[in-house]
Amino acid sequence: MSGQNGQAPAELLSANNITALFDSVDAFLFDCVIWKGDKLIDGVRQTLDVLRSKGKKLIFVTNNSRRSRRQYAHKFHSLGVSVSEDEIFSSSFAAAMYLKVNNFPQENKVYVIGGEGILEELRQAGYTGLGGPEDGEKRVQLKSNCLFEHDKNVGAVVVGLDPHINYYKLQYGTLCIRENPGCLFIATNRDAVGHLTDLQEWPGAGCMVAAMCASTEKEPIVVGKPSTFMMEILSKKFQIASSRMCMVGDRLDTDILFGQNAGCKTLLVLSGVTTQSTLQDPSNNIQPDYYTNQVSDILELLGQ
Amino acid sequence: MSGQNGQAPAELLSANNITALFDSVDAFLFDCVIWKGDKLIDGVRQTLDVLRSKGKKLIFVTNNSRRSRRQYAHKFHSLGVSVSEDEIFSSSFAAAMYLKVNNFPQENKVYVIGGEGILEELRQAGYTGLGGPEDGEKRVQLKSNCLFEHDKNVGAVVVGLDPHINYYKLQYGTLCIRENPGCLFIATNRDAVGHLTDLQEWPGAGCMVAAMCASTEKEPIVVGKPSTFMMEILSKKFQIASSRMCMVGDRLDTDILFGQNAGCKTLLVLSGVTTQSTLQDPSNNIQPDYYTNQVSDILELLGQ
């Protein structure tokens, strides 16, 4: 039996197939949904420890651009998990890396619609970021003869999730992209919504990115999932082929698609936004290799 | 010779063809670009007077939702042109009319991302609008256990140009559309940019609409140009078939497309956003029937 697009339906991860998966990969990539709000999901710490003890590389790949890698490492530590900055790939970092690998000139500036995490990653990479939280309270003057000025040295606009989005930032970014020759338009990711709080979902980066697409009439370069840009960077860094990795995540259209696009094995966990009925609905055409209820099932199935 | 899509290229309006156009229509529809900033374009008043004196109905059709019809009529009067509210069709009015003709229940509320013009038209039509300018300074609490509450009686969200766009409004509108059963998602229009000030263009309603499309993963009902909804309303009101109307405007993808979609004659004026080179560029596939430099050319060509 095969699913839509000829994809075989996902297999439930079990004691029978986990060894085959385990032996076929050298690294496990996790979305940062191993926590919920400010708590680690039960059994995650032990699972990560066991994977490490068995020689598997652990890499954390998130579309969330609000934090820098340093800030993520701090969060991991506060939850009692030892993860180094080097093992974290956030879309904020990916945006800075995209500029770096494409030799974006250090003297050009970057306008940011998004959070402090993006600005910090830009600084780490040696770039000057403008905008971000600082422009959150700025207002526009819509008087007849007022001219809205923008910096002509902005050579890239990076757009991520921005809870302080306003018309000032939209006009600033739009003018840079429309009027500064060759100005890049980079999106950290295009998630529709995200769990910014425990109790509900909120508009995601896709919301700010779509607004900018509409006013500029241009499409962005997307560096977060499901684009494989982060995979290229991390595969090179750790010298592990993507075919020897397993992407573990809770979203079909970002995590699992990212893993598939990159040629990884894929494991969907049902502890986040995707339910079993969504996975098995005939309208869903993204089938991971495996699915399981939660990350800690790995531990149990490995007999630990 | 025919243009792309088999459309004949636009004819320059001239003394030779103006009589044929003039005799074939009973009404002229104008976009509100007959003014620039706070001034009427030279010769417009006289042109409108002559058209009226020759028995032509004048109708003003604009995608701008920031004003109500009453506010537009006031602006016309302040510029020395006598136009009644009945002759004005703004996308703010169209949004209210859409609810009316679709028997939207008076007891349901309407959440507005946009300006006072939309709220005023909703009131005129007997509806209760929420949001709009009042929510412009509201901020969200992204604390773990805070729940963002929305009114479960909102049955429609109207999105237009909103220079006071913020995350509060995006979340409010998104929750209504995602969680209130059957909630309508109405866009006044989807213009990418507009001349909000004399000196430059600014992000248009298309920007706020795209943001909402991204977070709701839904497409809106568009009531402004190029949708023909306003044409259906005005054609019925004045009992004039659209084939006996000529749409005069400066935008190919809204005004001219609207006229074509509705089966009107179309006349592009080059005094606004469209240049002759854009019109004649091989990549342009929207060809009006006629084009001319400015509205007042009509006067001259009619020998007045």
Task: Indicate the number of domains in chain B.
Answer: 2
- The answer on B127 and B50 residing in a single domain is no
Q: Is residue A92 part of a domain?
A: no
The verdict on residue B137 lying in a domain is yes
Mean pLDDT within A68-89? 93
DSSP A101-134: HTT--TTSEEEEES-HHHHHHHHHTT-EEEEGGG
In chain B, residues with a C-beta closer than 8 Å to the C-beta of A167 are: 162-165, 202-203
Is the residue at B99 inside a domain?
Answer: no
Mean pLDDT, range A230-244, rounded to an integer = 96
**Alpha-carbon span B239 to A210, nearest angstrom:** 40
Q: What CATH number is associated with residue B259? A: 3.40.50.1000
- Do residues B206 and B253 both lie within one domain? no
Decide if B75 is inside a domain: no
Per-residue model confidence as pLDDT tens digits over A18-34:
999 999 999 999 987 68
My answer on whether B158 and B210 are in the same domain is: yes
Asked if residue B214 belongs to a domain, the reply is yes
What is the pLDDT, as a whole number, of residue A41? 85
| Same-domain pairing of B142 and B211 | yes
- Annotated catalytic residue within B23, B26, B31, B38: B31
Residue B84 domain-assigned?
no
A236 belongs to an annotated ligand binding site: no
Burial A251-260 (b: 16+ CB within 10 A, else e): bbbbbbbbbb
Q: Which of A176, A192, A222 finishes a domain? A: A222
pLDDT (tens digit per residue) in A110-135 = 999 999 999 999 999 999 999 999 99
Report the 10 Å Cβ neighbour count for B25: 19
Q: How confident is the prediction along chain B (304 residues), in pLDDT tens digits per residue?
A: 444 456 789 999 999 999 999 999 999 999 876 887 678 888 999 999 999 999 999 999 999 999 999 999 999 999 889 899 999 999 999 999 999 999 999 999 999 999 999 999 999 999 999 999 999 999 998 987 889 999 999 999 999 999 999 999 999 999 999 999 999 999 999 999 988 888 899 999 999 999 999 999 999 999 999 999 999 999 999 999 999 999 999 999 999 999 999 999 999 999 888 999 999 999 999 999 999 999 999 999 988 7
Across A177-181, A217-221, B33-37, least confident range: B33-37
B218 labelled binding-site residue: no
Range of the domain at B155: 104-222
From A167, A195, A222, the end of a domain falls on A222
Evaluate if residue A2 carries a pLDDT over 70.
no
Whether residues B244 and B258 fall in one domain: yes
pLDDT at A146: 86
Asked if B136 is an interface residue toward chain A (Cβ–Cβ < 8 A), one would say no
Residue A145 contacts B, CB cutoff 8 Å: yes
| Domain limit, last residue, from A222, A238, A260 | A222
B 263-302 near A (Cβ less than 8 A):
none
A194 plus A255 within the same structural domain: no
The complex scores an ipTM of: 0.93
Judged by a CB distance cut-off of 8 A, whether residue A175 touches chain B is: yes
| pLDDT for the residue B5 | 54
Q: Are residues B222 and B187 in contact, defined by beta-carbon separation less than 8 angstroms?
A: yes
Q: Is A135 a catalytic residue?
A: no
* Inter-chain CB proximity B215 and A196 less than 8 Å: no
* Residues on chain B touching A146 (C-beta within 8 angstroms): 197, 199
In chain A, residues with a C-beta closer than 8 Å to the C-beta of B200 are 147-148, 175
Q: Are residues B232 and B269 in the same domain?
A: yes
Q: With 60 as the cut, is the pLDDT of residue A4 above it? A: no
